[in-house]
Amino acid sequence: MRTKRGLLTILVLLAAVAAHGDEIDSMLAKAKDGDVAAQLELAERYATGEGVAKDAAAAELWYLKAAEQGDAVAQYRIGQTYATGDGIAKNPGEAVKWLTKSATQGNTAAQLSLGGLFMSGKGMPKSSAEAAKWFRLAADQGNAAAQCQMARMHLAGAGVLKDDVTAYKWASLAAAQGDKPASQVLVFLGRRMTDAQTAQGQTLVREFQEKMAADDAARGIPRVAPPLE
């Protein structure tokens, strides 16, 4: 009985492997025919080793194929890969090129990454103003990490006007999403801002949230986060 069960288990496993192989073959065929979704999925599989042998070169190839067809996610992935050198040689120029293409399409992850590259000056001229430009685009879309970065930049006057009220706005919005560094910025600001400044900051927060809610409603997106008290 145990032998039969063992054989049955092996047969089931073999069938699953064969089915998975057919899935990969189908995906590969679609990718070769120019299907962007298949190219991106294949790249992700090779990047993570899910269902195939992990292969950074193959991941790079298929990310590039999808990126060249204008897919914002693929552009971000390949840009980030060139930025970090994950499995391939670092290439700051290509990183900025692809991250910019993705960020220009509104990808907040790319905007955040691009801002970080300009802030650090790794592989490119350091520019706080350019960093603030990309952080602001992501912050305006509600990205908490970017909002926290904007708070810090306004706090220090790095690439933007030094302004505690605006710093309070961005830190409050990020903290409301659970960003702990933003909460620390709020504690710092609370020690030196006047009541009038805090009230101004709260007004900016409400205005931002109302605009976001209106924009989401226009796109049919339900509001998730409650308004900041």
pLDDT for 165-188, tens place per residue?
A: 999 999 999 999 999 999 999 999
Same domain, 214 and 136: yes
- Number of domains, the chain: 2
Same domain, 159 and 223: yes
Average pLDDT, the chain: 89
Say if residues 128 and 158 touch (Cβ distance below 8 Å): yes
pTM for the model stands at: 0.82
Same domain, 92 and 141: no
Residues spanned by the domain of 192: 129-229
Same domain, 150 and 225: yes
Q: Which two tokens stand for residue 70?
A: 């204008």
122 confidence band (pLDDT: 50, 70, 90): confident
- The CATH number for 99's domain is 1.25.40.10
pLDDT for 48-88, tens place per residue?
A: 999 899 999 999 999 999 999 999 999 999 999 999 998 88
Answer positive or negative: Cα dihedral of 117, 118, 120, 125: positive
Rounded CA gap, 122 and 77, in Å? 18
Same domain, 90 and 52: yes
Nearest residue to 136 via CA among 165, 166, 179 = 166
